[in-house]
Amino acid sequence: MAGGPAAVSFLTNIAKAAAGLGAAASLLSASLYTVDGGERAVVFDRFRGVLPDTVGEGTHFIVPWLQKPYIFDIRTRPHNFSSNSGTKDLQMVNLTLRLLSRPDVVNLPTIFTSLGLEYDDKVLPSIGNEVLKAVVAQFNADQLLTDRPHVSALVRDSLIKRAREFNIILDDVAITHLSYGADFSQAVEKKQVAQQEAERSKFLVAKAEQERRAAIVRAEGESESARLISEATAIAGTGLIELRRIEAAKEIAAELARSPNIAYIPSGDNGNMLLGLNAAGMGGR
C-alpha cells in the first residue's frame, strides 16, 4: 500500500514537469519570429507604438503579447492599371500603364503608420491616374503617337516624383497600350483618305502641266521646222517639196503593192480597159 502514494506523487511530478515544459515551449515560440529573404519587419509595441527601426532577415525575439511583428515584402512587384484621359484637342484616349514598385526600406515604419501593409494598392492607382490625365492633357491626340518617347518620359518622371512622397520607389514606368475612341479612329481614316486624294490630285496636276509643256515644245519645234522649210523653199525653189512628194508616193505604192486585195486601173486613155480580156481579140470579132 505504501507504493500507491509514491506512484501518484511521481506521476504528479511528471505531469507538472510536462506542463512546465509545454508552457516554456509555447512562450519560446511566441517570443520568436522569422523574417524571410526579400522581406522586412516592423514591430508594434503596445506601450511605445510602432518602433522606428526596421528588422532585417533572420529569426528575432519579441516580448509576447507586448509586441507584434508585421512583415513587408520589399521585392519589386508589377502593377498594371488603365486610365481614360482627355487630350488637348478634346479626344478621349485609353492608356494602360505598367509600374515596377518597391517600398523604401528605411521608411517602412512611416509607411506602416500612414498607409498599412497594402500601401501600393492604396497609392499607385490614384497617383497613376492623376499623372496620366495631367500629362495627356498637354498633347493633342496625334502627338501621343509621334511624341510617344517624350510622353513616356514625362509620365515616368512625374510618377517617380509623386511616389517618393509616399516613400515608394518606382524602378520602371512604361505605357504598354494606347488606343483612341471610335470617332477619332474614323476621323484619322478619313484624313488619310483625304491626304491620298490630295496627293493624287497633285500628281494629276503635275502630269497635266508636263503634258502642256511637252505640247508647247512640240508645237514650237513644228513651227520652227515649217519656218526652216519655208526659208529653204524660198531660197532653193520647190525641188525639196517635189522630192518629199515622190518619196511619199513611193511609200504609199509599196504599201499598196503588199496588199492582195488591191487592183490597179491605169488612168488616162487606157482607163476603160476590161480586166482579163484581150482588146485586139474583141475588135476582130
The pLDDT of residue 28 is 63
User: Is residue 274 over pLDDT 50?
Assistant: no
Q: Write the pLDDT tens digit of every residue in 54-109.
A: 999 999 999 888 999 999 999 999 999 898 988 998 888 999 999 999 999 999 99
User: Is residue 47 over pLDDT 60?
Assistant: yes
User: Is residue 281 over pLDDT 70?
Assistant: no
Question: Which class does domain 77-180 fall in?
Answer: alpha beta
The pLDDT of residue 268 is 54
Name the pLDDT band for 200 (thresholds 50, 70, 90): confident
Q: What is the helix (H) or strand (E) element at residue 99, kind and residue range?
A: strand 92-103
Amino acid at 203: F
Residue of 195, 187, 174 lying closest to 89 (CA atoms): 187
Domain boundaries, the chain: 28-73, 77-180
CB-based contacts of 137: which residues, under 8 Å, 6+ apart?
85, 86, 87, 88
Could you give the C-alpha distances from 174 to 79, 94, 138, 179, 229, in angstroms and in order? 11, 14, 18, 15, 79
User: Is residue 42 over pLDDT 60?
Assistant: yes
User: Is residue 216 over pLDDT 80?
Assistant: yes
Q: Do the bridges between strand 67-73 and strand 77-86 make them parallel or antiparallel, or are there none, so unpaired?
A: unpaired
pTM tops 0.85: no
Q: CA end-to-end span of the chain, whole Å?
A: 189
Amino acid at 102: R
What distance lies between CA 180 and its chain's CA centroid? 12
Of 149 and 232, the one with more pLDDT: 149
Cα within 13 Å of Cα(265), Cβ side: 7
User: Is residue 163 over pLDDT 90?
Assistant: yes
- 215: helix, strand or coil: helix
The pLDDT of residue 244 is 76
For residues 129-151, average pLDDT: 91
Could you give the C-alpha distances from 40 to 30, 57, 84, 85, 270, in angstroms and in order? 19, 6, 36, 37, 129
